[in-house]
């Protein structure tokens, strides 16, 4: 009798575990199916870049450049949000590309409000069904995040100003180079595997060769201090650069953006963003090289690793 009782308990346990496994698998399948549903809806919608003002300087030229390389949705336009509402009506399946921020360690004193750390990131998202069925105002709680990417543009962000001109940020001095490449990279990931829309960083083997010039925009040399717009001292820059023995050229952000748009042939440039050190292909937006970095700034080790990778036989 005891043996039969134990067998029954064991059988019940197995049935329970089997049911849990089926439930877990079913849940994963539902999540994957929902991601694909959202992806397919987005493919047939319009993508809006959220800016501060729909008619900023050279906005027609900027959107024309984006349309030349945008490959994820049927159209791409600008939109703005004022008083909790979109300036241009939006519909289910429309998607949005915007610059968001996240404040950490804010404090208040007799002199006012002082954010301790302010992180900026590009984000690609769409609205949940609740936005349309319940007729709610725009709010982050109704946003379904598809993809997010940290950026490191302290050189561009005004100190203690949470409401800087996003139109100016996205227009990027008249040449939307770096932003355009990041959007292309995002499109590459989503087009490659719609079931993994929150895939995070994908590591790609370096396709550039040791003979290619690495372009290094000067914003990589801005110090990692809160709201600092100060570049590193020349001594610190040289300490970093001497760890890269292959051809390179340092240029300004404006020069890089212009080169991305006007260059007929692809080139490679380095960007230290968030916790990653990446090398982008200027024509496709593909991250040809991407590794985790141990610091918030460009370090000697970042360039040393890239130097070693490119010199290795497998890099040729």
- In this structure, the answer to whether residues 243 and 158 fall within a common structural domain is no
The phi, psi pair for 20, rounded to 5°, reads -65, -40
Residues 181 and 107 in one domain: yes
Same domain? 121 vs 219: no
DSSP state of 282: T
C-alpha closest to that of 38 among 144, 147, 142 = 144
pLDDT, tens digit (0-9, with 9 covering 90-100), for 192-207: 655 444 434 444 555 7
Domain assignment present for residue 69? The answer is yes
pLDDT given for residue 200 in this prediction: 41
CA–CA dist 192, 198 (Å, integer): 12
Do residues 45 and 96 share a domain?
Answer: yes
Q: Is residue 206 part of a domain?
A: no
Tell me: do 48 and 188 sit in the same domain: yes
Residue 156: name the closest of 107, 102, 118 by CA: 118
User: Is 28 contained in some domain?
Assistant: no
pLDDT at residue 211 in the model: 92
238 with 118, same domain: the answer is no
Same domain, 154 and 53: yes
Report the Cα–Cα distance between both ends of the chain, in Å, rounded.
71
CA distance 305 to 100: 31
Residue 238 tokens, joined? 């040289």
Positions in the chain short of pLDDT 50? 2, 6, 11, 14, 152-161, 195-203, 225-228, 315-316
Are 181 and 52 in the same domain? yes
Q: Are residues 182 and 150 part of one domain?
A: yes
Task: State how many domains the chain has.
Answer: 2
Residues 172 and 237 in one domain: no
- Which residues, in sequence order, are CB contacts of 234 under 8 Å at separation 6+? none
Residues 73 and 185 in one domain: yes
The answer to the question of residue 8 being in a domain is no
Rounded Cα–Cα distance for residues 195 and 183 (Å): 18
Least Cα distance to 187 among 99, 97, 70 occurs for 70
Instruction: Answer yes or no: do 227 and 306 share one domain.
Output: yes
State the residue for tokens 């519909």.
91
> pLDDT at position 249, please?
96
182 occurs within a structural domain: yes
Query: Residue 59: which domain range?
Result: 41-192
Q: Return the structure tokens found at 135.
A: 């007729």
- Asked whether residue 17 is assigned to any structural domain, the reply reads no
Residue 200 forms part of a structural domain = no
Placement of tokens 């019940």 in the chain: 12
Q: How far apart are CA 100 and CA 105, in angstroms?
A: 17
Answer yes or no: is 1 within a domain. Answer: no
Q: Give me the long-range contacts of 140-148 (CB less than 8 A, separation at least 24).
A: 144/38, 145/198, 146/38, 146/39, 146/42, 146/95, 146/190, 146/197, 146/198, 147/123, 147/186, 147/189, 147/190, 147/197, 147/198, 148/100, 148/121, 148/122, 148/123, 148/124
């Amino acid at each position: 009798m005891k043996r039969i009782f134990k067998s029954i308990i064991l059988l019940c346990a197995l049935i329970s575990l089997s049911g849990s496994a089926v439930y877990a698998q079913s849940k994963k399948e539902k999540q994957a199916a929902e991601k694909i549903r959202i992806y397919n809806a987005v493919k047939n919608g319009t993508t809006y870049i959220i800016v501060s003002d729909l008619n900023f300087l050279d906005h027609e030229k900027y959107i024309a450049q984006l349309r030349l390389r945008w490959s994820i949705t049927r159209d791409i336009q600008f939109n703005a949000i004022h008083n909790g509402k979109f300036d241009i009506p939006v519909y289910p399946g429309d998607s949005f590309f915007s610059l968001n921020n996240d404040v950490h360690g804010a404090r208040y004193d007799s002199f006012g409000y002082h954010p301790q750390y302010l992180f900026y990131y590009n984000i690609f998202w769409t609205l949940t069904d609740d936005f349309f069925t319940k007729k709610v105002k725009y709010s982050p709680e109704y946003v379904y995040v598809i993809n997010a990417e940290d950026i490191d543009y302290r050189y561009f962000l005004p100190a203690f100003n949470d409401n800087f001109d996003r139109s100016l940020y996205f227009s990027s001095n008249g040449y939307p180079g770096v932003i355009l490449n990041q959007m292309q990279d995002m499109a590459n990931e989503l087009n490659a595997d719609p079931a993994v829309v929150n895939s995070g960083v994908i590591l790609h083997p370096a396709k550039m060769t040791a003979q290619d010039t690495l372009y290094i925009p000067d914003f990589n040399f801005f110090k990692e201090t809160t709201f600092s717009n100060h570049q590193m001292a020349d001594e610190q820059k040289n300490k970093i650069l001497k760890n890269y023995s292959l051809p390179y050229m340092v240029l300004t952000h404006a020069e890089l953006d212009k080169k991305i748009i006007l260059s007929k042939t692809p080139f490679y440039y380095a960007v230290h963003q968030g916790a990653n050190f990446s090398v982008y292909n200027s024509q496709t937006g593909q991250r040809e090289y991407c590794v985790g970095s141990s610091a918030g700034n460009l370090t000697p080790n970042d360039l040393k690793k890239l130097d070693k990778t490119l010199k290795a036989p497998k890099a040729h």
